[in-house]
Structure 1
Amino acid sequence: MTTSNYVGPLSFAVFAVPADAELVSVIDELQSLQLSHAVEVLDLELVELSDDGTVRRLTFADETAAAAETDLLDDDDLSEIGRELRAGERALVVVYEDRSLATVADRITAIGGREAWAGGIDAADLDEGVAS
């Protein structure tokens, strides 16, 4: 959870999974990450591409997962996700705050410091600076 000492980088991940895949172990792992304070899940969505090409949200059967649905994604986000899906797939979308440095931030605050900046880097951007 966000504190006045630290707001971790906000990020998202979109996972394409088979449409009939059981997600119980995935939801359990996300819950484990939250309980360990490694992440704070801000939104959890299950998305599918209909035969007519429209993208729609699905409802989770799991109560824990359903409680994490906050509809942060807009129609443009859904369209982008839909373009990545293949026939027979659906997408699990996780919007989250990275909390892995929260304890470091607490120690910084304890010595009179403060968080000045936090952000993310697209892994693809790291490859651009590497000489071949």
Structure 2
Amino acid sequence: MNNSSIDNIILATAKVWVRDSSGNYKLGTALLDSCSQVNFITDEFSQKLRLSRSKQYIEIQGIGKSSTNIKYKTTTNIKSVVIGFELPLTFCITTHIAYQPDPEIDISSWNIPGNTTLADEEFHVPGKVDLLLANESLDARLE
């Protein structure tokens, strides 16, 4: 069986610029989740950006009523790597979001048109997800 089998699930991801505490931008990988109502950032990435945090006690419920307790939130801007679109967002800080596919998916036989700009050119390569962008973030572009 090859790596492009039906067993692989490809998550909707995008590379985005995320503003750090000094006003500079660092590249992050975002999972686009149209079913989520809250944005998330990993603790590791927020520390790398040296973002300030404030206390935020909230219980996030997921599938099967599993819950995660959030203790902190932060705010920063994200910016598209493709177009000049920029958006200020609030993020709940969590220890882990998701991982991209493992192992790498072989896309050599895929017929992606050469003039197509992908939001994440490395969507098929395993790696950490730094952010989860919720429905509110995805809808903001439409306003």
User: What TM-score results when the alignment is normalised by the length of structure 2?
Assistant: 0.23
Larger Rg: 1
Q: Which structure shows the bigger proportion of residues in helix conformation?
A: 1
Which protein has greater RCO, CA pairs closer than 8 Å, 6+ apart? Answer: 1
